[in-house]
Amino acid sequence: MEMRADLVIVGAGMVGSALALALRHSGLEILLLDGSALSVKPFDAQAPFEPRVSALSAASQRILERLGAWEGIARRRVSAYSDMHVWDGSGTGQIHFSAASVHAQVLGHIVENRVVQDGLLERLHDSDVGLLPNARLEQLRRSGDEWLLTLADGRRLRAPLVIAADGANSAVRRLAGCETREWDYLHHAIVTSVRCSQAHRTTAWQRFTDEGPLAFLPLNRDGQQDWCSIVWSTTPEQAEQAMAMDDAAFCQALERAFEGRLGQVLAADPRLCVPLRQRHAKRYVQEGLALIGDAAHTIHPLAGQGVNLGFLDAAVLAEELVRACERGERLADVKVLSRFERRRMPHNLALMAAMESFERLFQANPLPLRWLRNSGLKLVEQMPEAKALFVRQALGLSGDLPALARA
Ligand SMILES: Cc1cc2nc3c(=O)[nH]c(=O)nc-3n(C[C@H](O)[C@H](O)[C@H](O)COP(=O)(O)OP(=O)(O)OC[C@H]3O[C@@H](n4cnc5c(N)ncnc54)[C@H](O)[C@@H]3O)c2cc1C
């Protein structure tokens, strides 16, 4: 059997699902396929936190609200944070950001990826978007003006336009021969949730250690403030050692690495270790094809920006496709798709470059660089306007915003 659609989105993760929802009223026949079951799990408020979480910006929240998904997300479990505290573990420099400095109530929300995904899927199941669960893409080739997609179970699909939202190891990107620039951060990230003896005070904490950044992100369960999600970026050797420790030893090592800022680390959930790699596609588009989200770019989690960039990609691409539909243009035309690339690539590249420099500066050990970063942090701490600018950037409410993210 061969299926046909105007548009096939490969990957129904957070970003692919957001794109499908953003196009649900476009009149286009859309197929959204994913290798997983695409089922929405019943939510248990007492269940442990999922290890994978994202710090969602205000712009992402707006997009999710307009897609009708935020209500289902907030009904499950979200943790607002109002402050951010960053410090240099091998110096005295520190900096504090607060939502109040720009008259906002929150800087963002920490949300489990599963919760975001379920909020989006819930809306998709109520929409006209064609969902193909358990559909793993295996082959992709040009056939005239269309793409022919073959799934692992032999099913075949045809479409003039394919969107790759299939994550960091995108099969579409590989099969379509899209080139990337990539390099290893020589960092692994350990992620889990931990319980601390002191309240997190709705603050996101980040300590730069000699081995890499360590973040404690506030989690909220029934108003209690003792759980944090941690992202501990460190050398592969140290990550291997930390993964091999029993819970008590791991909690002690973590508490030491975090200088005990939230008191004792009392308990830890099962840990996950993720190798970190920066990747950026040289082009996001070609005739009949566009890459979005992690398929187009993966970035160090120290910025907490990966999926925020992905949601903006999805919103901008949807906006350009709808506009092209209204003008009667051919959507698969590389000229149409390039408008999306022109709006998103400079923004993504600028953020990736900023994060890269930040990461290098904090990894650097020579004395002049350590002096520079400590003095830099202290200087910026004294500059309320510079800090407010940074906070507005973090909220994601500046620059060329798609209508879905605008106030
Ligand atoms: C440790 C860590 C912490 C992070 N913290 C943050 C944060 O605080 N804030 C933030 O914004 N970002 C954060 N990120 C980044 C964020 O997790 C990613 O940017 C985001 O998950 C990417 O979403 P995506 O939908 O593009 O890809 P994915 O979530 O990878 O989804 C891809 C989908 O494609 C499907 N798929 C893959 N291959 C195929 C195939 N061949 N056929 C069919 N389907 C396929 C998969 O099943 C999956 O559903 C973090 C990342 C890491 C590693």
Q: How far is the CA of 329 from the centre of ligand 1 (A)?
A: 31
Spell out the alpha helix ranges (H) of 49-183: 58-66, 70-76, 113-125, 171-175
pLDDT of residue 185: 76
Among 61, 79, 166, name the best residue to mutate to test ligand 1's pocket (greatest count of ligand atoms within 8 A of Cβ). Answer: 166
Q: What span, in angstroms and rounded, lies between the C-alpha atoms of 298 and 275?
A: 12
Tens digits of residue pLDDT in 219-241? 998 889 999 999 999 999 999 99
Contacts within 8 Å (CB) and 24+ apart, 136-139: 136/35, 137/10, 137/33, 137/35, 137/166, 137/171, 137/172, 137/175, 138/171, 139/175
Greater pLDDT, 203 or 384: 203
Pocket of ligand 1 (CB under 6 A): 10-16, 33-36, 54-55, 136-137, 165-168, 171, 189, 191, 231, 274, 293-294, 301, 304-308, 310
pLDDT of residue 395: 77
Mean pLDDT over 1-18 rounds to 96
* Residue nearest (by alpha carbon) to ligand 1 atom 52: 301
Exposure of 80 by Cβ count < 10 A (0-12 exposed, 13-18 middle, 19+ buried)? middle
Tens digits of residue pLDDT in 141-168? 999 999 999 999 999 999 999 999 999 9
State how beta strands 203-208 and 83-88 pair: parallel
Token pair of 145 as six digits: 């003006």
Q: What is the mean pLDDT of the chain?
A: 92
DSSP string of 182-197, one letter each residue? EEEEEEEEEEEEEEES
| Other C-beta atoms lying within 10 Å of the C-beta of residue 213 | 24
Residue 154 sits at φ, ψ, to 5 deg, of 95, -10
Which atom in ligand 1 lies closest to the alpha carbon of residue 135?
A: 43
Kindly give the interhelix angle for 334-363 and 367-381, rounded to the nearest 10 degrees.
110
Tens digits of residue pLDDT in 333-380? 999 999 999 999 998 998 887 777 666 666 666 666 666 666 666 766
User: What is the CATH T-level fold of the domain 2-38+55-77+113-182+280-365+395-405, as seen in this structure?
Assistant: FAD/NAD(P)-binding domain (3.50.50)
Tens digits of residue pLDDT in 91-119? 778 888 899 888 889 999 999 999 999 99
**What percent of the chain has pLDDT above 70?**
94
Residues forming a β-bridge with 183: 278
* Residue nearest (by alpha carbon) to ligand 1 atom 3: 301
* Residue nearest (by alpha carbon) to ligand 1 atom 48: 13
The domain spans of the chain are 2-38+55-77+113-182+280-365+395-405
Contacts of 370 (CB under 8 A, 6+ apart): 88, 90, 91, 364
Token pair of 85 as six digits: 């505290």
pLDDT of residue 364: 61
The pTM of the full predicted model, rounded to 2 decimals, is 0.94
Mean pLDDT over 296-312 rounds to 90
**What percent of the chain has pLDDT above 90?**
75
